[in-house]
């Protein structure tokens, strides 16, 4: 019983820290963006203030009960997704659900947001969601191929097993560099950073799906965005960079967890900053250009990565 309570408390702590870290990441992104533009930029804690302000707004509007599903499913789905992602070697619930489950859980918040924004009856929202879904079909092609190459190479679909097999710097990025490259390209679209931010283009379609959300609705969606910044970068870190596990917890105990957590934070930051720098200097693709791009180069690279994994695993019989 005591173990269970400690377990739940630890999970909650990790999720809370992840959301906070996500907000910090968003702040860092704004700061970097500003520096690239030769500006001073907001303080890094700016997004905490923004969320606080939005949640403290005096009035909020809603259109109907389906509109409420957006923040509810958005935040609940984001927290749930965080629970299934190992952070710094701590597996949370990822032992009880594998990558396929994670992939489908990751859809829940976006689906809730699509429902809510669709219910606002604003045509911009419909167009925005259409673009987001088309973009999703685009980037999922290379991303699923890279996932498959990992699953085939490591012969597992479980993230926690994947982490175990990558321990001791046997990171997948060294073994399957092509897949890692394709996954990073897909990540850019998954995070809707430029050049793939057409679904939320503020000047064309009034920030797309978010057009009608304000106050606490927008605040909760911002928390969802923060959580997903961590989810997506952390997914890449867990898949290709060994999840930041450099010390074996069974050997070093609690110190290992803390060190691993900091390494994980560092790696997440590195992946995030790469995406942010690309974001800072690019204009945006139109949606059909984005689609063509994703089904061309990243898919070819990912297919090559898959071929490599296939040859190594099935024909050469390499067991990692």
Partner 1 sequence: MDLQTLFGIFIVLPVLGAFLSYSLGKRASIVATAFSAVPLIFTYLRMGDWSQYTFTALGINMSFELNPLNWFFILMTSLTSFSALLFSISSVKERQNGFASLMLFAVAGANGVLLARDFLSLFVFWEIMSWSIFLLVMRASGESARIYMIFGAISAYFILFGIGIVYHYTGSFLYSAVGGVPAYAWKYLLPIFIVGFGVKMAMMPLHIWAPHAYSSEQSFVAYLSGGLSKLGAYGIFLTFYSFATVGVLAGFGTFRTVTIPGYALALVGAFTAFIGTMLAIFQDDLRKLLAYSSIAQLGYVLVGFGLGTPLAVGGALFHAFNHALFKAVLFLGSAAVIYRTGEYRISELGGIAYRMPFTFMAVLISIFALAGIPITSGFISKWMIYEAAISLKFVIVTPLMLIASVGAFLYSFRILYGVFLGQLHRRHEHIKELPPHMLAAMYILIVPMMVFAVAPGLIFDWINSILVYYGMNGLTYTTFSYQSSVGGANMLVFFVAFMAAFMVAMGLFMMKKARTVDQYDNYLGGEVRTDVELHAAHNFYKPLREVWEPLLKYSTERFYTRVARFFAGGFEEIKKVYTGNPQDYAAYAAMAFIVFFLIGWWLL
Partner 2 sequence: MNAEDWKKIQRMMSKRSLWMVHFCTGCGAVEMPPVMTSRYDMERFGMGPMATPRQADILLITGYLAVKTLKRVVRVYEQMQDPKYVIAFGSCTMNGGMYWDSYNTVKRVDKYIPVDLYIAGCMPRPEAIMDAFLKLMKMIEEGKADGWKRYKEHYEEYRRNQMRVFRRWDE
Considering only residues 208 to 267 of the shown chain, the ones binding partner 2 according to CB under 8 A are 210-215, 218
**Residue 288 in contact with partner 1, rule: CB under 8 A:** yes
CA dist 275 to 90, 136, 303, Å?
A: 25, 17, 22
Pick from 140, 91, 101, 73: nearest CA to 291: 140
Among residues 31, 49, 28, the alpha carbon closest in space to that of 41 is found at: 31
Residue 53 binding result from partner 2, partner 1, none, given CB thresholds of 5 to 8 Å by partner type: partner 2
Count residues near partner 2 (CB under 8 A).
31
Measured from the CB atom, the residue of 98 and 212 that comes closer to partner 2 is 212
63 binds partner 2 (CB under 8 A): no
Q: Decide whether 108 or 246 has the Cβ nearer to partner 1.
A: 108
253 prior amide bond cis, ω within 30: no
Q: Which does 114 bind (CB under 5 to 8 A by kind): partner 1, partner 2, none?
A: partner 1
What phi, psi does 90 have (nearest 5°)? Answer: -85, 125
Report yes or no: 232 and 248 within 8 Å, Cβ to Cβ. Answer: no
CA distance 219 to 68: 13
Tell me the backbone φ, ψ of residue 59, rounded to 5 degrees: -120, 150
Question: Measured from the CB of residue 122, what is the shortest distance to partner 1 in angstroms?
Answer: 5
Residue 12: how many other CB atoms lie within 10 Å: 12
- How many angstroms separate the CA atoms of 257 and 9, rounded? 16
- Give CA angle at 273 (254, 202), nearest 5°: 125
The one among 4, 40, 254, 315 contacting partner 2 by CB under 8 A: 40
Nearest 5°: phi and psi at 85?
-110, 120
Query: Tokens standing for 264?
Result: 């994980």
Question: Nearer to partner 2 by C-beta: 122 or 157?
Answer: 122
Stretch that binds partner 2, among 54-62, 134-142, 271-279, 293-301 (CB under 8 A): 54-62
Residue 99: CB partners within 8 Å, gap ≥ 6?
147, 151, 157, 158, 159, 162
Residue located via tokens 């897949």: 179
> How many residues make contact with partner 1 (CB under 8 A)?
81
CB of 318 to partner 1, least distance (A): 13
* 30 binding partner 2? (CB under 8 A): yes
Binding mask 217-256 for partner 1 (x = CB under 8 A): x--x--x---------------------------------
Sole binder of partner 1 in the list 33, 47, 157, 234 (CB under 8 A): 157
Return the number of the residue (14 or 67) whose C-beta is nearest partner 2.
67
Note whether 115 binds partner 1 by CB under 8 A: yes
Report yes or no: 312 and 179 within 8 Å, Cβ to Cβ: no
Please tell me whether residue 123 binds partner 2 under the rule CB under 8 A: no
Residues that bind partner 2 (CB under 8 A): 30, 34, 37-43, 46, 49-50, 52-53, 56-61, 202-203, 206-207, 210-215, 218
């Amino acid at each position: 019983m005591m173990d269970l309570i400690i377990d739940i408390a630890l999970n909650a702590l990790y999720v809370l820290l992840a959301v906070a870290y996500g907000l910090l990441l968003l702040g860092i992104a704004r700061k970097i963006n500003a520096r690239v533009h030769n500006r001073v930029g907001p303080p890094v804690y700016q997004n905490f203030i923004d969320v606080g302000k939005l949640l403290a707004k005096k009035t909020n509007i809603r259109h109907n009960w389906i509109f409420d599903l957006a923040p509810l499913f958005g935040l609940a789905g984001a927290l749930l997704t965080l629970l299934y992602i190992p952070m710094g070697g701590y597996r949370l619930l990822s032992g009880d659900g594998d990558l396929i489950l994670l992939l489908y859980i990751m859809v829940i918040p976006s689906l809730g947001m699509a429902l809510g924004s669709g219910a606002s009856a604003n045509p911009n929202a419909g167009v925005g969601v259409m673009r987001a879904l088309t973009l999703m079909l685009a980037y999922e092609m290379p991303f699923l191929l890279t996932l498959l190459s990992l699953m085939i190479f490591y012969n597992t679909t479980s993230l926690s097993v994947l982490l175990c097999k990558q321990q001791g710097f046997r990171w997948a990025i060294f073994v399957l560099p092509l897949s890692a490259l394709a996954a990073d390209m897909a990540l850019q679209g998954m995070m809707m950073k430029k050049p793939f931010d057409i679904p939320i283009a503020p000047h064309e379609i009034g920030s797309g799906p978010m057009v009608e959300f304000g106050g606490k609705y927008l605040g909760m969606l911002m928390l969802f965005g923060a959580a997903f910044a961590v989810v997506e970068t952390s997914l890449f870190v867990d898949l290709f960079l060994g999840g930041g596990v450099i010390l074996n917890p069974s050997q070093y105990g609690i110190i290992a967890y803390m060190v691993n957590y900091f390494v994980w934070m560092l790696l997440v930051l590195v992946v995030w900053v790469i995406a942010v720098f690309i974001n800072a200097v690019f204009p945006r693709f139109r949606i059909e250009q984005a689609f063509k791009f994703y089904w061309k180069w990243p898919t070819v690279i990912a297919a090559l990565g898959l071929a490599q994994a296939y040859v190594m695993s099935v024909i050469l019989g390499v067991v990692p």
